[in-house]
Structure 1
Amino acid sequence: MTSGRLLVVRCLALLVVAFGGTYMVWRWSSTIAWGAWWIAIPLVLAETYSFGESVLYGVTMWNSRRRPAPPPAPRGRTIDVFIATYNEPLEIVLTSAIAARDMTYPHKTWILDDGNRQEFADAAKRIGVGYIVRGPDWDGRPRFAKAGNVNNALFRTSGEFIAVFDADQVPDPAFLDRVLGYFDDPEVAFVQTPQRFWNVPRSDPLGSGADLFYGPIQQGKDGWGAAFFCGSNAVLRREALMALGLTMFSRSAAERVRKALHDGRRRVQAAVNIHLPGDIGQIIGRRAVGLLVEAEARVRRGDVLADVTYVLRRQIKSIALSDMLPQPVIDAITDTLGAAEVARTDRALAIDPIVTSSITEDMATAMHLHALGWASVYHHEVLVQGLAPEDVRTMLSQRQRWATGTMQVFFSDNPLLLRGLTIGQRLMYLATMTSYLNGFAAVVYIAAPMVFLVSGIFPIRCDSIAFFVYFMPFFLCSQTLFVVAGNRSRGLWRGQQMSFALFPTWIKATIAGASAAFFGKTLTFAVTQKTKQATGIGLRHIRPQLIAMAALVLAGGYGAIQAADGQRPLFASIITLIWVGIDIVLLSAMTRAARYRGPGHIDSPFPRALTDEVRDVIVDIHHPTIAGSTAASQPCHAPTPPAANVPVRAAGAELAILLYAAARFDAVAALALRSHVAESVLDGAPVVLVDVSGVRTITPSAVAVVVDLLRLLRTSGGDLRIFGDSRSFALAYETMALSHVTRLHGDPEEAADSAYANGPWRRGPAQRGRGAHRQSTIMSGPR
C-alpha cells in the first residue's frame, strides 16, 4: 500500500469511528423498542458487533506494511523442507515434492507421510527425497493430525530452518532464495508467503481466493508485528519452535502432573472400593492411594517433578504386584502413572514445538511465538501454487475446520489474556477470531426485517429519516474503507458474500470451539480433499441458506402488499425491502457455490519437465516392467538408531550407561545422542547418565531432545540423569524453566541413585578400547 493510499485509509478509519460511534450512541440511547425487546436487543447487539468489526478492520489497515525487497539469502544455512500428506493422491504429492526438491537453495526435502503408504516410500526413493512416517511410539497415542506429523519430523531432522508445504502446494524454484534473507534478523521466527490456487476460475464461485487476507490484511497484521503463520508456504526457525515447545511444556508441567495425580487418586480409590473387598487387597489399595496423595503433596511443595514421578513409579511397583490385584485396579494405577508422568509417557513426544491444543495449529503456534517475543514477516510475493476445493461440501468442511479451531483458541487461549502479546498483536488476533461470531449477527440481520414485514413490529423506535441520516454515513464510510484498503484485491465482493452466507458454518464452529474449550470435547481434524468429491448440484449442503432466502422472499412479498394497502409505513417498508434484497444477494453466493461443478479445463502452470517426471515415476511404481527405469538417486531417510549392542551386566545388578554431550550441543549432536539412547533402551531399559560438563554452547533443539529422551527412557522403565558443571547447560535449564521439571545433577555420584550406585557403568560401544575423548567425538560431536 502506497503512502498516499495509507493516508486515505487512515482518514476513512477515523471517519468510521466517528460516524459509527455517533450512530451507536444514538441507537443505544434513543431508539431501542423495549416493547419488542426480544428482537430489538439482538439487533442493537448485532449492530454493535458490526461496528466493532469495522473498527478492528480499520485498526488492521492503519499500520499496513509494505516491505522492501528482502536481503539476499545467506549462504551455508541448513533447511529441511516438509511436504505433509495424509490421504492425498500420489500424483499431487509427487508434484509438490519434486518441485520442492528442485528449489535452487541447497536443502533436504522430506515427504511426511501420515498414511504410511508403500507406494509413497517407493516414490520418495525414486525422486531422491527423504521419507518420514511415525514410529511405534505413536501407536495407541494421540496423533494430533498435521501438527503431530510435523512435530514427529522435527525430532528426526536437524536443519536450522524448516519450510512447510501442504501436499498440494507447489513451490517456485526461487522460494527459499526469496525468503531466507529475512532470517538475518535473529528475532524472526517465521516468514509467511501468500497462498494462490491455480484451479480457481476468475469468477471464484466457492470464494477460495483470499486476495484480501493474503494481501492488505496480512500486510496490516505485519505492520503490528502479528503476521500469521498459515500452516503452509512458510519457513520457520527450528530453534524458535523448540523454544516454544519447551516453554509451554515447562509452564504447564506442574499443574498437569498435579491434576493427573488428583484425578488418578479418585479413580484408583473408586476401583479399590469396588474390586478389592478383602482386607489384604484393601491394605494394598489404600497404600497405593496414599502414595498418590503423597506425590501430589510433593508437587504442591515445588519438588522436582521428574524426581516425584520416578519415586512414585518405583514405590507403586514395589506394592502393586499383578498377581495380587484385579485388572481394573491395575489399569487405574497404570493409567494414572502414565498421565502423571512429567515426561508424558502417555504421548509419543514430550515436547510439542507446533502447538497441538487446537486443530488450527498454525495460528495457535504463531500467537504463542509472538507472546514469547519472536517476530514474524509477511512476504507479499506469490511463490507457491496450490489446489482449492472444487465442490461445496469440501469447501464447507474446510471452512468449518478453520473456524472451529480458531474459536477453540478464542475460548481457551484468548489473546486479550495471553501474557507477552503487545496491544497491537492482541487486537490482530482478536480481529480474526471474532470475525466468526458474524454467524450470530447474520441470523439477526435476516430475522429483523422479516419480523417487521410480517408483524409490523419495528425493532427500532425512531423516525425513518433520522435513522437514514445517522446510519448512512457510517455504512458508506465502512464500505469505502473496505474497498480502498482492499487496494484492488480480487474477490472483495465474494468475500463479503461468503462472510455473511456461511452463517450456519460459523455458528456450528463457535459452538464446537466452545465445547472443546469448556467441556473437553474432542475435535476431529478433517483433511481437506484435494480432488472433487461431490457430483451434481450440492443444494443439500446449503439448506439453511435456502430456507432463509425463501423466508425473506415470502416476507418481502407480504410486506410489500401490506405497504401498498397502507398497513405499513411506506418509507420504513422501502428501507426494509432494500435490507431484504441485500440479504438475498449476499445469501445467493451459496446457490452459485452449490451449482459449481469444478473449474473445467485449466492449463497447468507447472513446467513440462515437472509433469513428465511425475508421470514417469507413477508409471514406474505401478507398472515397473513397462517403465523399466531405476531411481535417479538414493533417498535421504531420517536418522534411525544403530543396531543394539550386547549389554555388560554384573550378576544381580542393574545396568547404567554413561554418555557424553558435545561441546556444541545442537540439533545434530542431540539426534546423535538420541540414537545411542535408543540403542541402550534395546539393551534393557537402563539408567542413562549424560555428562554435560563439556557443553559450551547449547540450543533449544538440544534441550528439547533431552527432555524427550527422558520420556523415551521412562516409557521403557528406565531413567535419564543429567550431570556436570556446565554454565551453558544450567543457564538453558533456567531460561526454559526446566529446573523444576528435571534435575541437573552436579556429579555422577549424585546422578546415580542408590539403586544403581553399586552397579556397573557400561560405556558406549566406541568408548571400549579407544578412550573417553574418542567416545564423545563419535557419539555427540567434538567437545
Structure 2
Amino acid sequence: MPVRHTDPPPAPSRAPSSVPETPARTRSQKVADSPSLMAIVAIAAVGVLLYTVFLFDFGHRGDWPAYLLVVVAESFIVVQALISLWTILSSGHDPRDYTFNEAQRALYGNQVEQTMAIGIGMRHAEMQLNDFPITVDVFITTYGEALADIRKTVEAAVAMDGAHTTYVLDDGKSAAVRDLARELGAEYVAREGNAHAKAGNVNHALSITTGDLFVILDADFVARPDFLHETVPFFADPTVAFVQTPQTYGNLRGLISRGAGYMQTVFYKFTQPGKNRFNAAFCVGTNVVFRRTAVMEIGGIWQESKSEDVWTSMKLHERGWRSIFIGTELAVGHTPETIETYTKQQLRWATGGFEILFRANPMGRGRALTLDQRLQYFGTATFYLVGIAPGLLLLVPPLQIYFGIAPISQDVPGLTWFFYYAGFYFMQIVVALFTIGSFRWETLLLATASFPIYVKAFANALLRRDQAWSVTGQKGVRNSPFTFIVPQVLAFVFLLATSVVGVWQAQLDRAFSLAVFWNILNTLVLGAFVVTALKESREIARASRELRALRRAGREPVGEHDEKVVTPVLPEPREERRAVAIKPVTPVPPPRPAIAATQAVAAVPRRHRAVAVRGPAPRPATRPTPLPPLRPAAPRPPAPVLPSQSGPPSISGPLPGLPIGGGPGRARRSAGGPRAAEEPEPRTAPVPVVPSPRRRSASGADLAAEVLSFSGDSFSGDAPARRRDRRSR
C-alpha cells in the first residue's frame, strides 16, 4: 500500500446499526489490474534479459578484476529484478473470495442489532465463523518504547470492533506500562527473563492464553477499529494459518524515515500481494493475525532467528497451511528516524534473511515446498545481496582512475554499452514510477549507503554470530550516528580523494571519462548521507546540553521505565461486570470466588509465572460448541507442544496453565486440537447453604433460586418474600 505522511487514521464514520463496508479499491489495486502494468513489466523483463546477455558475453569483457566485480554485483540485481517482475505480474489477485464475504456478513451473527440497540458499539460483539464462536487475543509486544506510543497502541487495540482480550506483553518489565495497561483495560504480562526476544515473548503469552486466533502488534502500530472485521473472516477457510496486513508509517518527516519507509513501498503494494498467487506471502512480525492451532502445530513462533516472522511462515507453508496478504491499511506505525535505529533494524532483518539462505536454503533438498514457494523464499533469502552490490560497484571507477582497469572492453562502442545498460536500469525506474507514482531519491541514497550493514549481516549469518535484538523507536540515550557509519565515512573520504584525482587527470588528458562522472555521483550520494549524520549529531549534542542543564538545576526528568516490576506476580482479581440485558433472563448463579494466592503459586511452574493485571473486559467462561475441524481433507499428526521461552522446540509435555486468559472456570485448550474439555479451576469453598429437606428433592432450578436468595437481592426481585416464606415454614 502507498506510504503516506499521515497521522494514524481516525475511526471510520458509519451508521450505528450497520456493519463496516469493505474499503474501496486503492490506487495500487487498480494499477495491479491495469493491462499497462503487464506491458511495462514485460518490456522491463526483456531489458533485463538483453542486459544479461550483453554482460555475460566475454567478447565485451574488459580487465578481469573490474569485470568480475561488475558481473557479481549485477548478477545479484538481475536475479532479484526477474523475481520481482514475475511477482508483480501476479499482484492483481484479490484474496477476498465468496467464503470471505459470507463469513464477514455473518461475523457477528444476529448480535449486531442487539448490540447497537444498547449503545455500546461493536466492541463487545462476539464473533463467529461458520456458525461457531471464535475468540481472539491481541498481543502488543513492548520492550522499552516510549510510553506515549504504547498508550496510543493499547487504546486503539482495546477499542477494536469484535469481542477480544488485549494483552500487553512487556519484556521491559516497566511499572509505568503495567499501570497503563490497568488504566486502559488491557491485561499486562511480564515473564522471567527475555529469552529469544520477541519470539519468546509471544510464545510465553501463547502458553497462558487460549484464544482461537491471536493478533501481534508492535508497540508503535496503532490499529484501526475495523482491524478484526477485515481479517478474521478469512479464517472461515480452515486451511488459512495467518492473515498479514501492510506496514504503513505516519512519521515520514526526515531523510532517514522517508528513505526507510519508501524502501518498502513496492514490497507492500505489489510484491506481497503477488505472493498470494503462490501461497508464499509471509509474516512481517506485526499487523498479523494467526490461527493458534496452526502455530502450535509447528511448535510455536520460531525462536532460533531474529527473523522469526519469515521462518515461522516458511514452517507453516511446509506443513501445507495457507497465508493471506491484504493490501488494506489497518494499522499505522513508526519507521526508523535515526541512523542508529535504521542500522540496527536493517542489520537484524538482513541477518535473518541470510540465515534462511545458509541454514534452511529453500532450494535445497528436504524442503516440503512447491516450486513457486521455493523460488519466492529464495528471492526473500537473497534479497539483501542486492544491498551488497553497491559496495562492489563503488570500487569500479577508482580501479579505472588509478590503474586504468575497465570492466568493459575499449572496443565496445560507448553507445552500445549505454543502450544495454540504460535499457536495464531505465525500465526499472519506469516500473517504479508506474507502480509507486513518483521517484524516491531518498531510497536511492539509503540503498547506496547501506552496503556495510548488509556485508556485516552476511558475515553474521555465515559465522553464526548472534545479533542483539533492537527496537525501532526505543526510548533511551541516543548514540552518535558516526558510531554506526564508520565504513561509510571512510568510503566517502576515499571517493572524494578519487574524484579529485579523476578531475585532475581529465584536465591533463583533456577528456572527461565516464568513470570520473560515475565516481563523482557516488561521492555526492555518500556525502549527502554524511551530512545527514552531521545534522543528527548536532541534534543529539543539543539534547545532551539541555539534559546537563536540567541536572545542574536539580530538575532531571524522571524516566518512564525506571521502575521495574518484580516477577512472578499473581493476576489481580478482575471485578465481574454484569452485561446489560436486552430482555429479562433467568437468573444465573454468582461467579465463583477467585483462586487463592498460595494455590495459584503452587499450581504454576516457576518459569511460566507472569505479571498480570486484569482488564475490565470480561470473556465468556465457557464455550459450548467446538470449532469445525481445521483440515477436513486429511488428518494431521499430533501437534507439538509449544516450548517454553528457554527450551528448544522439541520439548514435549502439557502446556502449563495460568489463570490469565479469562474469568474463573474458563475452558483451557491443549496443544493437540482446537479445544479440550473444560478443566475447572481451584476455588475456595463457598458459603454453605443448607436448604430444607423439602428443597433437597426439588429441581435444579428451585435449588439455584434458593442459592440466589442467600447471595443477595441483585439476582432475584422477591428475595425478601422468599426469606419470609422460609421463616414461616
Query: TM-score, normalised to structure 2's length?
Result: 0.65
* Aligned with residue 499 of structure 1, among 424, 439, 447: 447
Q: Which moved more, 1:96-105 or 1:432-441?
A: 432-441
CA gap 1:109/1:471 in 2 versus in 1, 3 angstroms: same
- What secondary structure does 1:421 align onto? coil
Instruction: Give 2:24's aligned residue.
Output: none
Hey, what's the Cα distance between the residues in 2 that align with 1:387 and 1:696?
37
* Aligned with residue 233 of structure 1, among 281, 284, 287: 287
Hey, what's the Cα distance between the residues in 2 that align with 1:236 and 1:79?
10
Hey, what's the Cα distance between the residues in 2 that align with 1:542 and 1:704?
44
Hey, what's the Cα distance between the residues in 1 that align with 2:535 and 2:244?
31
Hey, what's the Cα distance between the residues in 2 that align with 1:16 and 1:640?
66
Greater helix fraction, Structure 1 or Structure 2: 1
Query: TM-score, normalised to structure 1's length?
Result: 0.60
* Aligned with residue 129 of structure 1, among 172, 175, 186: 186
Hey, what's the Cα distance between the residues in 1 that align with 2:314 and 2:655?
32
Matched, 1:152 2:168: no
- What secondary structure does 2:381 align onto? helix
Hey, what's the Cα distance between the residues in 2 that align with 1:84 and 1:13?
39
1:184 Cα offset (Å): 1.7
Instruction: Give 2:433's aligned residue.
Output: 483
Aligned residues of 1:541 and 1:594 also touching (Cα < 8 A): no
Hey, what's the Cα distance between the residues in 1 that align with 2:44 and 2:524?
24
Instruction: Give 1:26's aligned residue.
Output: 54
Aligned residues of 1:391 and 1:534 also touching (Cα < 8 A): no
Instruction: Give 1:528's aligned residue.
Output: 472
Instruction: Give 2:340's aligned residue.
Output: 393
Instruction: Give 2:303's aligned residue.
Output: 356
Matched, 1:162 2:214: yes
Instruction: Give 1:429's aligned residue.
Output: 377
Hey, what's the Cα distance between the residues in 2 that align with 1:399 and 1:696?
40
Hey, what's the Cα distance between the residues in 1 that align with 2:478 and 2:682?
58
Which residue type is aligned with residue 107 of structure 1?
H
Instruction: Give 2:75's aligned residue.
Output: 48
Which residue type is aligned with residue 174 of structure 1?
D
Aligned residues of 1:63 and 1:223 also touching (Cα < 8 A): yes
Hey, what's the Cα distance between the residues in 2 that align with 1:237 and 1:49?
36
1:235 Cα offset (Å): 0.9
Hey, what's the Cα distance between the residues in 2 that align with 1:149 and 1:523?
17
Deviations 1:6-63 (A, max 9, x none): 53333333333433333333332334657x4233212222222222221122112121
Instruction: Give 2:138's aligned residue.
Output: 81
Hey, what's the Cα distance between the residues in 1 that align with 2:183 and 2:629?
37
Q: Which moved more, 1:436-445 or 1:116-125?
A: 116-125
Hey, what's the Cα distance between the residues in 1 that align with 2:172 and 2:491?
41
Hey, what's the Cα distance between the residues in 2 that align with 1:714 and 1:128?
30
Hey, what's the Cα distance between the residues in 1 that align with 2:309 and 2:253?
27
Instruction: Give 1:580's aligned residue.
Output: 519
Hey, what's the Cα distance between the residues in 2 that align with 1:190 and 1:506?
29
Instruction: Give 1:307's aligned residue.
Output: none
* Aligned with residue 318 of structure 2, among 363, 371, 389: 371
Matched, 1:90 2:147: yes
Which residue type is aligned with residue 478 of structure 2?
A
1:460 Cα offset (Å): 1.6
1:242 Cα offset (Å): 0.8
* Aligned with residue 469 of structure 1, among 419, 427, 430: 419
Deviations 1:625-655 (A, max 9, x none): xxxxxx997599xx9987788xxxxxxxxxx
Instruction: Give 1:182's aligned residue.
Output: 234
Matched, 1:456 2:395: no
1:395 Cα offset (Å): 1.6
CA gap 1:587/1:223 in 2 versus in 1, 3 angstroms: farther
Hey, what's the Cα distance between the residues in 2 that align with 1:6 and 1:91?
42
1:499 Cα offset (Å): 2.1
Hey, what's the Cα distance between the residues in 2 that align with 1:696 and 1:218?
30
1:594 Cα offset (Å): 1.9
CA gap 1:714/1:706 in 2 versus in 1, 3 angstroms: closer
1:467 Cα offset (Å): 1.7
- What secondary structure does 1:18 align onto? helix
Which residue type is aligned with residue 100 of structure 1?
A
CA gap 1:534/1:633 in 2 versus in 1, 3 angstroms: same
Matched, 1:594 2:538: no
Structure 1: state its 5+ residue gaps.
246-352, 601-617, 623-630, 646-671, 683-694, 717-728, 734-763, 767-783
CA gap 1:579/1:432 in 2 versus in 1, 3 angstroms: farther
Hey, what's the Cα distance between the residues in 2 that align with 1:703 and 1:675?
27
Aligned residues of 1:438 and 1:500 also touching (Cα < 8 A): no
Instruction: Give 1:740's aligned residue.
Output: none
CA gap 1:192/1:491 in 2 versus in 1, 3 angstroms: farther
Which residue type is aligned with residue 9 of structure 1?
L
Which residue type is aligned with residue 220 of structure 1?
G
Name the Cα RMSD after superposition. Answer: 4.4
Which residue type is aligned with residue 296 of structure 2?
M
Hey, what's the Cα distance between the residues in 1 that align with 2:640 and 2:453?
38
CA gap 1:704/1:439 in 2 versus in 1, 3 angstroms: closer
CA gap 1:713/1:395 in 2 versus in 1, 3 angstroms: closer
Deviations 1:597-629 (A, max 9, x none): 59x9xxxxxxxxxxxxxxxxx99x99xxxxxxx
* Aligned with residue 541 of structure 1, among 477, 481, 484: 484
Deviations 1:235-285 (A, max 9, x none): 11111111122xxxxxxxxxxxxxxxxxxxxxxxxxxxxxxxxxxxxxxxx
- What secondary structure does 1:2 align onto? helix
Instruction: Give 1:442's aligned residue.
Output: 390
Instruction: Give 2:267's aligned residue.
Output: 213
Aligned residues of 1:391 and 1:596 also touching (Cα < 8 A): no
Deviations 1:312-356 (A, max 9, x none): xxxxxxxxxxxxxxxxxxxxxxxxxxxxxxxxxxxxxxxxx1001
Structure 2: state its 5+ residue gaps.
1-28, 109-126, 128-133, 540-558, 564-571, 578-592, 610-625, 631-635, 657-668, 674-680, 684-729
Aligned residues of 1:168 and 1:530 also touching (Cα < 8 A): no
1:161 Cα offset (Å): 0.5
1:713 Cα offset (Å): 7.3
Deviations 1:532-589 (A, max 9, x none): 7437x7345333223323333332332233234338xx4xx53323322442354345
Hey, what's the Cα distance between the residues in 1 that align with 2:406 and 2:212?
63
Hey, what's the Cα distance between the residues in 1 that align with 2:52 and 2:243?
39
CA gap 1:5/1:107 in 2 versus in 1, 3 angstroms: closer
